[in-house]
Structure 1
Amino acid sequence: MNPQPSAPTCVRHPDRPTGLACTRCGRPACPECLRPASVGQHCVDCVRAGQKETRQVRTVAGAVAGRSTVPYVTYGLILVNVVVYAITAFQSRDLFDNAQGGTTFFTSRLFYDWVLVPAVVSNGEWIRVIGSGFLHYGPIHLALNMFALWVIGRSLEPPLGRLRFLAVYLVSMLGGAAACMLFQGPLEATAGASGAVYGLFGAITVLLLRLRQNATQMYILIGINLFISFSIPHISIAGHLGGLVAGTLAALGLLFLPERLGAKTQEAARSIGWASLAVIGLIALAIIAARAITLG
């Protein structure tokens, strides 16, 4: 009498006999290793392979769609600005006049070390190019910039993706600093996140155009802010305009340039977008360096 053939065992659990199998690869599998599928059931190995093969849905900027929409970078930038302000207020012993304390010099050491002064940058103090973008003259200046960053960041960060959003913010900051170096007096001091915020204004306007949505409200908002910049004394017009131009160009490079250059794949489009951001940032740095050399 012939012996009964042994029952097949699960490929992942050899000690478990099973009469089930994966409908994709045909290998025997126990109930624990099978997952329901549109047709039959797939083993966990085939499920993982299928997930890798599935193309991720991406936004127009190349960010993975469906990820968390919580704008962590926006909140992080706001936190950094608030912490820096708190340090300057503590050092100056004045919550409302954290920069000068009513005198002609900066009573906060951090403010003194980071405020953007073209002639001092020319002496090699490059930290001021970025550091000045996190300083603010008083709580109203801070509150206005952080409110604008909060409003724009929540709408712009998810479609751009966190890293691209941060890159646009920093490139806009560099653009504002470059304009200040180029057009302001050698001893004129500038501080604030306004250049970066104006860059986000330009970037979200470009995003609306890319999505074929009405950008009229952004045109009005930018127009009002520019009018205020030109109307109120001691506001850095150059910093605002420089940030606006840099942020707008950065968004154009991310959202329109890949298509214009005929990018065939998502990878190529993302590479072109990142390259355009790098080029704009390098141009801003080159302007800052050239101006520093002429002042040195």
Structure 2
Amino acid sequence: MTNPGWGGAYGDQPTPPQSRCVRHPDRPTGLACSRCGRPACPQCLQAAAVGQHCVDCVRAGNAQVRRARTVAGGSADSTYGLVTYVIMALNVLAFAATALQSRSVMDNTGASSLYESLALFPPAVALGDYERLIGSGFLHYGLIHLLVNMFALYIIGRDVEAILGKTRYIAVYVVSLVGGSASVMLLEDPFTATVGASGAIFGLLGAQAIILLKLRRSPTPALVVIGLNIVISITIPGISLWGHMGGLVAGALATAGILFVPARVQNRRTRSYLGWAAVAAVAVVALAVIAFRVLDLRSRMGL
């Protein structure tokens, strides 16, 4: 008895060449992407709702998925509080430098060249030391001052960062810092040096209150904290009330510009531009106040 088909299928004819992975040509495979149909090895395939997709199709599919965004337009990601931690680290490093230079943790400003070069001293700003407007926000008087501000930044900053997104959060923080410096330049004793991150932190408190309003939640908790801190600023000597107030107003206005100015615009890119324009407007006003005060101090110094 014979079977003519047996030898023809397996015995005499060569086995057809096996497909090879499109990403790894040296790897034969019997698998294929259920989306594009191209052969792929197990390493290049990922389980999908239907079948399995190659890494190229997975990447293309992810690119078409709209990323979740917050009410401010910031992207929701897993790096919660990253910018806040970086700002805290910069403050701690600046404090460590002043403590090493002064050889004292509690009296870290006594003989510190970093403190002397960055503390917000209006006459020095009038002479051209504009770096003091930002740098002073990273210096602190003693360990207690640093710990209090860093604790407040840790509690408030991370949540505000999560809503605004990293870029807008940095913008609001810097504008708050500049707003606090502008208020100090204009309203504080010009011959008193001011340092600390509290002006920017007050700006974040203002931002938090505006965010709660945007989310249609009661801003009362944030307002109570702001009120308590204002009372503390008034009753305890040596605290810069106007630095706090300038930061609070600048931060609240910048955040309101981000959240409310572009609210009725449909195009997302246009909304982003309008929000940034509002932040820039707040920054311009703060810089105009600083410029006015610089000219005033120069005239008083006969320059």
- TM bin, normalised by shorter chain, reads 0.7 to 0.9
Q: Which amino acid aligns with 2:156?
A: I
RMSD: 2.5
Pick from 85, 92, 102: which aligns with 1:82? 92
Report whether the alignment pairs 1:138 with 2:113: no
TM-score under structure 2 normalisation? 0.85
Contact preservation (8 Å) 1:60, 1:255 = yes
Size of the aligned set, in residue pairs, is 287
The verdict on how the C-alpha distance between 1:19 and 1:113 changes in structure 2, with shifts beyond 3 A counting, is: closer
**Displacement, 1:74?**
1.6
Q: What amino acid is the match of 1:80?
A: L
Based on CA coordinates, which of the two structures has the bigger radius of gyration?
2
Give the equivalent residue in structure 2 for 1:272. 274
Structure 1 position 21, deviation (Å): 3.8
Partner Cα separation in structure 2 for residue 114 and residue 79 of structure 1: 17
How many Å apart are 1:284 and its aligned residue? 1.6
SS class of match (1:42) = strand
SS of match in other structure, 2:293: helix
Question: 1:35 aligns to what SS in structure 2?
Answer: strand
Q: Which amino acid aligns with 2:103?
A: R
Structure 2 match to 1:52? 63
2:155 matched residue in structure 1: 151
Q: In 2 relative to 1, CA 223–192 (structure 1 residues): closer, same or farther, beyond 3 Å?
A: same
Question: 1:89 deviation in Å?
Answer: 2.6
Paired residue secondary structure (2:53): strand
Q: Which amino acid aligns with 2:211?
A: L
Task: Tell me: CA distance 1:15–1:131, structure 2 relative to 1, closer, same or farther (3 Å).
Answer: closer
Specify the alignment match of 1:222 in structure 2: 226
Q: 1:168 to 1:6 in 2, by over 3 A?
A: same
Alpha-carbon deviation of 1:31? Answer: 4.3
C-alpha distance in structure 1 between counterparts of 2:94 and 2:67, whole Å: 38
Alignment of 1:49-128 (within 5 A): 49-69=60-80, 71-100=81-110, 107-128=111-132
Aligned residue runs from structure 1 range 9-48, under 5 A: 9-10=19-20, 11-14=22-25, 20-48=31-59
Q: Percent identity at matched positions?
A: 52
How far is the alpha carbon of 1:122 from its aligned partner?
A: 0.7
The TM-score normalised by the length of structure 1 is 0.86
Deviation for aligned residue 1:124: 0.4
Question: Displacement of 1:8 after TM fit?
Answer: 6.9
- Structure 2: distance between partners of 1:154 and 1:264: 28
Which runs of 5 or more structure 1 residues have no equivalent in the other structure? Answer: 101-106
Decide whether aligned partners of structure 1 residues 134 and 34 sit closer, same or farther in structure 2, where only a CA change above 3 A counts.
Answer: closer
Question: Are the equivalent residues in 2 in contact too, given 1:7–1:18 (CA < 8 A)?
Answer: no
Amino acid at match of 1:74: T
CA drift of 1:141 comes to 1.9
